[in-house]
A and B are shown apart, each in its own frame.
Chain A
Amino acid sequence: MTANGRPALTAAVAPLPPGSPLEQELRLTLPSEISRIEEAVELVVQHVEPRFSAGHAIRFNLRVALTEAICNAILYGSGGDPAKRVAVRVAWGATVVEMEVADEGGGFDPGTLPDPTTPERRRRVDGRGIFLIRHLVDEVRFNEKGNAVCMVLRRD
């Protein structure tokens, strides 16, 4: 149980077939509640950190990118409806981590997002999430529908 009495999030972890740099896989789903994001991110970190040998990327890049992706899924994909679920799949080995976040929404076109750093947009309070993800991970892919993002972090 968590401190506020809710059941803690749990993750299913399984080994992946040998021959790939990705050795293990974790899957979890969470309700579309902002208050569960940090718990989900730390659950992923607990599993990935002992194996993925780039501590700095775990400490910062992974946490921020995963927080952004889950937050977008909850706010925009699920429209804040807590009954809708967000699915997280993370696969990792010593040199690479792949994180996929999928929601039940209709998706969006990531190519249409404006640059949040222009002088006229810089003072806005929102619109920086995908921008940060693109800068903090080595590779970002969206599915065709635009309701799932895959982020790849590699060891330097």
Chain B
Amino acid sequence: MGFATRKDPKGVVVIEVDGQLIVGNRQEFKQRLLDALEGGERKFVVDFARTGYIDSSGLGVLVSLSKKIRDEGGDLRLAGLNDDLKTLFELTKLDTLFAISDTSAEALAAF
């Protein structure tokens, strides 16, 4: 459970969410991305392939980070959403705000 961060050869920061992204851990998640942004990183993929569920706080932190990264001239892409998670994004219409790829490899290729 938790977050694993790696950097791909193209310079994209990939954050894997293992378990859930919810009100109890959203701050840790947010801080990881903000630290990377502060450190000069501008390209991000959040990989949900190992994620069980996301709550409204998790969705909210993604909205907040996406705006912040865009404001800094960067880009945030989402990948690996299972059917349940896709449904969450569709229900809330957040699928219209994010670039969503089936896999992290596809998201990386899009940069």
Contacts and interface: CB of A to CB of B under 8 A. Distances in A.
Interface of A: 34-35, 37-38, 59-60, 63-64, 67-68, 71, 116-117, 122-129, 131-132, 135
Interface of B: 20, 22-24, 52-57, 59-61, 63-64, 67, 84, 88, 91-94, 96-97
B97 A122 contact: yes
Contacts of A117: 91-93
Contacts of B24: 34-35, 37-38
A68 B55 contact: yes
Contacts of A123: 63, 67, 97
By secondary structure, the A interface counts as: helix
A125 B55 contact: no
Contacts of A128: 56, 59-60, 92
B92 A63 contact: no
Given A37-B24, A128-B92, A64 B64 contact: no
Given A37-B23, A60-B84, A63-B52, A71 B57 contact: yes
A133 B96 CA distance: 21
A118 B18 CA distance: 31
B60 A132 contact: no
B60 A125 contact: yes
B84 A132 contact: no
17 contacts: A34-B23, A37-B22, A59-B52, A64-B88, A67-B22, A67-B23, A68-B56, A71-B23, A71-B57, A117-B92, A123-B63, A124-B60, A125-B61, A125-B63, A128-B60, A131-B92, A132-B92
B56 A122 contact: no
B43 to A, nearest CB: 21
Contacts of B91: 117, 131-132, 135
